């Protein structure tokens, strides 16, 4: 090969080698670049990871320092808590679920006074043993074992009741134990020594106060009783004296003495009643009574003051309410007298309305009775109303000062109603009037109640003439319920305008604004309504009876009108005169006729056991007109003797007498009567306040009782009611019974 060839060959080879080298170098630098990029990425990731590690490390540090801080805080809190627990005066301890002591404060441990066993780990039962064996606790009359057993039983309860223990040094601790969810128990021992002592002092003070109050009540009761005896003498004597010839002036003086005496007795009775209620000595004497009649009696009693003041006293007794109940009529009357008496006292114009409604429960034979007493009087200010049922509380203002009173009436009323199981309330509008109400539940008398009249007998169309709206409403309700058509008029003029042929009866008030009832009747007759029956209502019927025009009217009804009276008057209108006579005779049958057989030989024998000479004298004078043989016994022993020697037909028995009181004497007489088939009627003569002194009066064998001051009429009635058939009539031939 030529050199040139060889050179060319070499050059080609060199060029090829150089190309290969370039290529390899390019590959190498690409690989290098790739490696560089990798290295860079790696470095970046390493940097990031390092930063993360840094952060985590920082956080770890923070948590660590927080934990240390928290631990420190817990330690401080625990120290403070424990310090507090240590410093409190009351004992504090924790027990685990095995009843082992975990810890206790100094107060708790101090009770054990250095007994070393009492330390964490000791069981509750062992603590109880130490308390008794070391004499640390006063277990009274219990044995140590019993006391421990009782305390352990209590401890085992899920929620142990607090218990009070007394320590040897006279300190009292109240143990309050609280069981947690895990069974741990937190035990607190409160030192209640001061409050126990305070309570004991209070109790002693209360007992002293109660004893003083009882002594005061007993003193009051005694005093009023002592005052009553001479007062009864005074009032009784005035009654007798009023029957002797007296001139005008003497009669006036005598009436004043009697009225003052009676007023004083009312006050004394209030005080006495109150002290008896206070001393829990007042009891009720239930018997059958007519509630409506009771109300009407009270209304009648108050009628004189009602009339003097020009008021109207109205009774609205629910037509369908029974009237016969079992209760203490004396006390019911007392409540009514207080409330209605107040209403009249504090009202100077307008009316007083007694409204009685009720809900009978025939299944249980009882009836809920609501009585409301409304007046149009001075009313009571709102801020005073709460106090008036309190003792001796009277509204103090110039309008009230003119009224007398003890301030005890409502307090007594409230207590009496409470004793009957009822409640009393009041609503009032100052200057407008008041409404006092009470509710009692009374058993109804089994058997028939007085029934409303037969509807067929009632007038079909009645014109009621009455200027007082309340009374118009009451009458139209009462008549409406009987099925009558009622037309109401407020004046005589109005009545004259409405009367027509359909009217069967005109019922009119006597005191109408334009004319009186008799003038209205006269005008009606003049206008040709001669056949229309007119019945006039008046609180003072005497005035009508004295008027010559009286014959023009059918009859007079005294206000407040008893329902029975209204009904019988309405029914009588539909009857013939003969039928009416029969009714009158039947009514008369209730009165016992004196024995007039003429066969009787001896006088009725009446024994009066009464130690007080004045009362003996009064009684003697009161019965002097009666045909009886009267004998006195000065005390219970004498009464028993006279019962044997005198063989009385009736005994009046004073209750409080020396040596043997009336109840003992009666019991002895009843004992002697056993097997003799005899039962002499014995009538207790009691001071008002002794009624209900205890069950003794009637249960001692007494049949009736009369209250002092003695009333001639009641004494006579009692003798009349009990005169024996074989004795001469007690009414002397020439004498009129009272």
Question: Which spans of this chain sit near ligand ADP (rule: CB under 6 A)?
Answer: 338, 342-343, 346, 375, 377-380, 388, 393-395, 400, 405-411, 434
CB of 442: closest distance to ligand ADP in angstroms? Answer: 23
Cβ neighbours, 10 Å, residue 460: 13
> Residue 283 — φ and ψ, nearest 5°?
-125, 160
Nearer to ligand ADP, 266 or 637 (CB): 266
Nearer to ligand ADP, 330 or 405 (CB): 405
Structure tokens given for 339: 């409330």
Nearer to ligand ADP, 341 or 459 (CB): 341
Structure tokens given for 322: 């029974």
User: Cα-atom radius of gyration of the chain, to the nearest Å?
Assistant: 50
State the DSSP code for 279: T
CB 615 within 8 A of CB 710: yes
Structure tokens given for 99: 């009843």
Angle formed at CA 716 by CA 712 and CA 718, multiple of 5 degrees: 120
CB of 377: closest distance to ligand ADP in angstroms? Answer: 5
Q: For residue 423, what are the contacts with CB-CB under 8 A and spacing of at least 6? A: 417, 438, 439
Nearer to ligand ADP, 271 or 367 (CB): 271
Nearer to ligand ADP, 495 or 689 (CB): 689
Structure tokens given for 384: 């005073």
CB of 686: closest distance to ligand ADP in angstroms? Answer: 24
Taken in order 224, 230, 231, 233, is the CA torsion positive or negative? positive
C-alpha pair distances (Å), 243 with each of 112, 620, 621, 712: 90, 14, 11, 11
User: Look-up: residue for tokens 């008893």?
Assistant: 562
CB of 343: closest distance to ligand ADP in angstroms? Answer: 4
d(Cα 191, Cα 130) in Å, to the nearest integer?
A: 20
Nearer to ligand ADP, 422 or 696 (CB): 422
CB of 378: closest distance to ligand ADP in angstroms? Answer: 5
Nearer to ligand ADP, 434 or 616 (CB): 434
Nearer to ligand ADP, 375 or 649 (CB): 375
Nearer to ligand ADP, 151 or 388 (CB): 388
Torsion-angle region of 604 (φ positive above 0: left; ψ -120 to 50: alpha; else: beta): beta
Q: Which residue's CB comes closest to ligand ADP?
A: 405
Nearer to ligand ADP, 390 or 658 (CB): 390
Cβ neighbours, 10 Å, residue 121: 11
Q: How many residues does the chain have?
A: 738
CB of 163: closest distance to ligand ADP in angstroms? Answer: 48
CB of 386: closest distance to ligand ADP in angstroms? Answer: 11
CB 654 within 8 A of CB 685: yes
Q: For residue 541, what are the contacts with CB-CB under 8 A and spacing of at least 6? A: 556, 557, 558
CB of 438: closest distance to ligand ADP in angstroms? Answer: 13
Which of 727, 651, 688 lies closest to 282 in space, CA to CA?
688
CB of 226: closest distance to ligand ADP in angstroms? Answer: 23
Nearer to ligand ADP, 221 or 408 (CB): 408
User: Look-up: residue for tokens 């069974």?
Assistant: 183
CB of 316: closest distance to ligand ADP in angstroms? Answer: 17
Q: For residue 121, what are the contacts with CB-CB under 8 A and spacing of at least 6? A: 100, 101
CB of 388: closest distance to ligand ADP in angstroms? Answer: 4
């Amino acid at each position: 090969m030529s050199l040139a060839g060889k050179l060319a060959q070499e050059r080609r080879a060199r060029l090829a080698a150089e190309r290969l080298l370039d290529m390899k170098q390019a590959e190498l630098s690409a690989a290098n670049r790739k490696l560089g990029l990798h290295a860079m990425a790696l470095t970046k990731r390493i940097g990031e990871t390092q930063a993360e590690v840094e952060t985590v490390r920082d956080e770890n540090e923070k948590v660590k320092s927080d934990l240390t801080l928290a631990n420190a805080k817990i330690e401080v809190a625990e120290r403070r808590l424990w310090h507090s627990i240590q410093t409190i005066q009351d004992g504090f301890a924790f027990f685990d679920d095995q009843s082992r002591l975990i810890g206790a404060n100094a107060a708790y441990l101090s009770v054990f006074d250095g007994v070393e066993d009492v330390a964490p780990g000791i069981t509750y039962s062992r603590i109880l043993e130490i308390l008794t064996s070391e004499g640390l606790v006063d277990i009274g009359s219990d044995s140590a074992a019993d006391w421990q057993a009782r305390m352990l039983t209590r401890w085992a309860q899920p929620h142990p009741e607090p218990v009070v223990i007394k320590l040897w040094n006279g300190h009292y601790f109240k143990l309050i134990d609280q069981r947690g969810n895990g069974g741990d128990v937190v035990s607190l021992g409160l030192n209640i020594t001061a409050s126990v002592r305070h309570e004991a002092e209070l109790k002693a003070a209360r007992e002293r106060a109660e004893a003083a109050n009882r002594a005061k009540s007993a003193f009051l009761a005694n005093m009023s009783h002592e005052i009553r005896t001479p007062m009864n003498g005074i009032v009784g004597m005035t009654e007798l004296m009023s029957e002797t010839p007296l001139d005008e002036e003497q009669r006036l003086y005598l009436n004043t003495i009697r009225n003052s005496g009676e007023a004083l007795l009312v006050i004394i009775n209030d005080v006495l009643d109150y002290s008896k209620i206070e001393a829990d000595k007042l009891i009720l004497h239930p018997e059958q009574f007519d509630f409506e009649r009771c109300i009407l009696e009270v209304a009648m009693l108050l009628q004189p003051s009602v009339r003097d003041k020009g008021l109207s006293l109205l009774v609205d007794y629910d037509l369908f309410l029974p009237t016969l109940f079992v209760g203490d009529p004396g006390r019911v009357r007392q409540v009514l007298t207080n409330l209605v008496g107040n209403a009249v006292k504090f009202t100077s114009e307008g009316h007083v309305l007694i409204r009685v409604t009720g809900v009978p429960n025939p299944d249980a034979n009882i009836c809920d009775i609501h009585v409301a007493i409304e007046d149009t009087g001075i009313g009571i200010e709102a801020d005073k109303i709460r106090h008036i049922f309190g003792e001796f509380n009277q509204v103090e203002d110039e309008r009230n000062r003119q009224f007398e009173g003890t301030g005890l009436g409502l307090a007594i009323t409230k207590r009496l109603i409470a004793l009957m199981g009822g409640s009393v309330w009041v609503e009032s509008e100052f200057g407008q009037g008041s409404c006092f109400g009470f509710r009692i539940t009374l058993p109804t008398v089994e058997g028939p109640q007085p029934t409303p009249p037969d509807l067929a007998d009632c007038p079909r169309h009645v014109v009621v003439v009455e200027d007082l709206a309340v009374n118009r409403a009451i009458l139209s309700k009462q008549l409406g319920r009987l099925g009558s058509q009622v037309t109401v008029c407020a004046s005589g003029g109005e009545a004259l305008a409405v009367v027509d042929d359909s009217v069967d009866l005109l019922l009119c008030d006597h005191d109408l604004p334009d004319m009186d009832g008799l003038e209205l009747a006269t005008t009606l007759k003049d206008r040709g309504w001669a056949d229309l029956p007119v019945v006039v209502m008046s609180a003072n019927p005497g005035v009508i009876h004295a008027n010559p025009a009286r014959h023009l009217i059918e009859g007079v009804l005294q206000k407040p009108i008893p329902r029975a009276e209204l009904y019988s008057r309405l029914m009588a209108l539909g009857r013939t005169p003969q039928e009416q006579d029969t009714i009158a005779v039947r009514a008369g049958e209730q009165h016992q006729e004196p024995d007039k057989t003429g066969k009787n030989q001896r006088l009725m024998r009446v024994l009066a056991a009464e130690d007080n000479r004045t009362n003996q004298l009064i009684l003697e004078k009161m019965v002097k007109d009666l045909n009886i043989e009267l004998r006195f016994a000065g005390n219970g022993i004498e009464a028993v003797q006279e019962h044997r020697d005198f063989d009385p037909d009736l005994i009046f028995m004073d209750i409080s007498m020396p040596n043997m009181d009336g109840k003992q004497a009666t019991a002895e007489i009843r004992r002697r009567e056993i097997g003799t088939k005899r039962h002499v009627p014995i009538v207790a003569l009691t001071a008002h306040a002794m009624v209900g002194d205890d069950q003794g009066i009637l249960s001692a064998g007494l049949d009736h009782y009369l209250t002092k001051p003695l009333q001639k009429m009641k004494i006579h009635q009692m003798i009349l009611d009990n005169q024996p058939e074989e004795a001469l009539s007690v009414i002397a031939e020439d004498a009129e019974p009272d």
